[in-house]
Structure 1
Amino acid sequence: MQTIWLTGAEWLAVLRIGLGLWWLESWRHKDKKGWFERGTGIAWAKSVADEHRWSFVQGGFTAVVAPRPKLMAYIVVYAELALGLGLTVGLLTPVALVGGLLLNLLYLVLMIHDWAEQGQNAMMALISLVALFAMSWQAWSLDNLWGLFL
């Protein structure tokens, strides 16, 4: 269906690419030396989990993240890079959209406190959901070019 300037599939690709660029910006602005060498990102997350209103968050952090902080720092930082690249070029798009949705939901739950900015995570999760169910890889994507996920 042709809409103003672009087709519906192309507008969905714009949404997907914008989300990918958002993830790339999240990766770009991270202090990687701080995350990898000093553990600043994981230390901050620990301080949030320790004071979280839901006990399962602290328990989950203690069981999963605390025993392996360096590994988790690499996972978080490079997950954001992988999501950004995958969504921007449209490679394994459904996988990237589900991964991004899960990561944003994890961020939402971790930072549920009133002081945390939740608009970005909520909007990124919503865009992931819309882009997934609307099959945003149908235009301007390597998935479409290679005939994946038809």
Structure 2
Amino acid sequence: MDTIWLTSAEWFAVLRVGLGLWWLESWRHKDKNAWFERGSGIAWAADVAAKHRWTAVRSGFDVLVAPRPRTMAYVVVYAELALGLGLIAGFLTPVALVGGLLLNVLYFTLMIHDWAEQGQNSMMALISAVGWFGMSWQTWSVDSALGLFR
């Protein structure tokens, strides 16, 4: 049943935009100089991965991230920006929702020992799943205006 002032589809769009704002804030508050020039974000992740209880996380980090820390810093930072902008505008929304879910699962797995961060990652992953299943791209989005993903 729809509410008086917003339909169900509009509430899904509100959720999608809110998630996009969350990703945009994650991008905005990062010290880009520290990430790109000093490699602080990747250095921190390397330290966490080296002590991780799961061998797959340690070896995966060593194979995928450690050989290319500068590139991976750009990938992480600009993935957050792309997710934020894509979700706010509703452009390639299903792709952004799945990408955001995967990035949150990656963050969750890497920081499994730090329960203070897990609430945010869990909620963002949940919103991604709800937005995807609720087809949040059908209202107030570039996707809808272009007739994409019907």
Give the C-alpha shift of residue 4 in structure 1.
3.4
| Aligned position for 2:127 | 127
Instruction: Give the match's secondary structure for 2:117.
Output: coil
Tell me, yes or no, if structure 1 residue 11 matches structure 2 residue 11: yes
User: Against the structure 1 CA distance between its residues 114 and 23, is the aligned structure 2 distance closer, same or farther, given a 3 Å change threshold?
Assistant: closer
Percent identity between the two aligned chains? 75
CA distance in 2, matches of 1:26, 1:114: 18
Output the CA distance in 2 between the equivalents of 1:115 and 1:92.
31
**2:98 matched to 1:98?**
yes
Displacement, 1:2? 2.9
Name the structure 2 match of 1:20: 20
Q: Which residue of 2 aligns with 1:45?
A: 45
Alignment CA distance shift 1:67-1:116 (3 Å): farther
Could you tell me the TM-score, scaled by structure 1's length?
0.98
Give 1:114 shift: 4.0
Query: Where has structure 1 moved over 4 Å in runs of 4 or more?
Result: none
Q: TM-score, normalised by structure 2?
A: 0.98
Segments of structure 1 that go 5 or more residues without pairing to the other structure are: none
1:113 match: secondary structure: coil
Task: Establish whether residue 148 from structure 1 lines up as the match of residue 142 from structure 2.
Answer: no
Note the alpha carbon deviations across 1:57-102, whole angstroms, 9 max, x for none: 0100000000000000000000000000000000000000000000
Equivalence for 2:73: 73
Equivalent position of 1:60 in the other structure: 60
The alignment covers a number of residue pairs equal to 150
- Tell me the alpha carbon deviations over residues 92-121 of structure 1, each in whole angstroms, 9 at most, x when there is no partner: 000000000000000000000045420000
Aligned-residue Cα RMSD (Å) equals 0.9
